[in-house]
Structure 1
């Protein structure tokens, strides 16, 4: 039997395993803070603890609202969760994006579990239904980071990913993670999966820090790491380690890829249940 406490634990586990994996170019990990001068590993641990109950509540809300096709009440829970996050991190944004994206996945999990139809595919399809039309909100919120990128580059960011049900977590994430776990440690499989996300995502965090040139550099670097064999070869491992130094120099951080890694780990642990 699945309940809110179990869901909260696997969501928390996904958060901790993502931030603990090393090396992750430009990102906070268990060894260094990457391109982030205002946060470190312990900032993320504090944040993860502070927001973990939100995922229990999001799941339970899904159980209650299984007949609804919106996530309006979830938004209110998310706003309260953001306040807890900022209180735990002294005002640093560690998990705002994941409160939205993982919150939606967990909410959808509750709905599908209540409908006795729980699977990775059903959760993704439910998110698509819940988030239908959410990109239209960008036209009303142009004075935000997402709105400015939409105006400048035409990119719809996490809202577009939500409308797609975060299906890349299944199609790229789960596929890669399961493949690498057959021959690699969990740490190396997680890092390898991150590089696959970096190769394909239009990562708004990279664009915010480095513009389109920063995004292109990150994608090309990830592609090279894959060609070198990632963490499964000495050349690939050395190259990924070297990327962290280069990403820090360029002030790049693939936060969108990190978020997708968390979504992937959540779906992986959910499948294990």
Structure 2
């Protein structure tokens, strides 16, 4: 019976899903202005990385996203996905000289790629929202996986008592389903150019997300300040308002002065790009 079921499953283009994942991360890197984040034009609030560092990391990760798509299509257990993620993180660190450029993306986009492939193999809907919910297939393994209590991210989560990316994933990425995807879809449907729509979505995320990177760099005060600035930008119309680019560039200078970088929001933006693009595959 299982053999028959496998024969009936549609062929999943794992290589294409992998390319879309890399393309989504490249789209996030290429986007500007992005307050505090690395762009092709400046390193933002970072002293240890630039666009070249990110490109080397992306090149090192290109096979990982294809491989995790294959694993998802085969309904691999979470332990297998975790092994692929650990190997990918090691490859990233070798390529960047030990600099963490894409650890969050290895986790989140990796899981979403696996879920997108599994949805296809199971003949399930592949809307971005459904793919997010598909990650819940691995929730037991996600929640049971051990955490490193000495990692910077885990120390921040424990200190401020907030959910991390693991909890977001186990819940089916509610911030993606409820905020990022609708914001990006609506902005594009309203006629915003792609770059403007992505900046608009990024700032919507910064305004709402308990961004671990902001907490790590600026504490609760830094997170509150960043969220308030992003909320004000959105209240003024975001990227729909005239002169939005100049205002966002000015806001970026303020982020850099405070050494703040909303890396968690940037990861979710890249996830949103992947989720929309994979719908057409």
- Contact 1:24/1:191, CA 8 A, preserved across alignment: yes
Match of 1:243 in 2: 251
Farther off after superposition, 202-211 or 45-54: 45-54
Match of 2:187 in 1: 180
3-state SS of 1:263 partner: helix
Farther off after superposition, 232-241 or 74-83: 232-241
Which whole-Å CA distance do the structure 1 matches of 2:100 and 2:148 have between them?
Answer: 19
Match of 1:207 in 2: 215
Residue 48 (1) aligns with residue 58 (2): yes
Runs of 5+ unmatched residues, structure 2: 1-10
Q: Where does 1:8-87 land on structure 2 (aligned, <5 Å)?
A: 8-64=18-74, 66=75, 70-87=77-94
Per-residue CA shift, 1:77-119, capped at 9, x if unaligned? 1111111111211211100111011111111112111111132
Which whole-Å CA distance do the structure 1 matches of 2:280 and 2:69 have between them?
Answer: 17
Q: Where does 1:143-162 land on structure 2 (aligned, <5 Å)?
A: 143-162=150-169
Match of 1:259 in 2: 267
| TM-align CA RMSD | 1.7
The Cα shift of 1:150 comes to 3.0
C-alpha distance 135-239 of structure 1, shift in aligned 2 (>3 A): farther
Task: Report the count of equivalent residues.
Answer: 269
After superposing on structure 2, the runs of 4+ consecutive aligned residues of structure 1 that deviate more than 6 Å are none
Match of 2:6 in 1: none
Per-residue CA shift, 1:38-71, capped at 9, x if unaligned? 111121112112102111000101122x2x6x41
Which whole-Å CA distance do the structure 1 matches of 2:86 and 2:68 have between them?
Answer: 12
Which whole-Å CA distance do the structure 2 matches of 1:78 and 1:166 have between them?
Answer: 18
Instruction: Tell me the TM-score normalised to structure 1 length.
Output: 0.93
- Contact 1:229/1:235, CA 8 A, preserved across alignment: no
The Cα shift of 1:21 comes to 0.6
Runs of 5+ unmatched residues, structure 1: none
Instruction: Tell me the TM-score normalised to structure 2 length.
Output: 0.90
Per-residue CA shift, 1:144-175, capped at 9, x if unaligned? 22321233111131111111212322321221
Which whole-Å CA distance do the structure 2 matches of 1:135 and 1:76 have between them?
Answer: 16
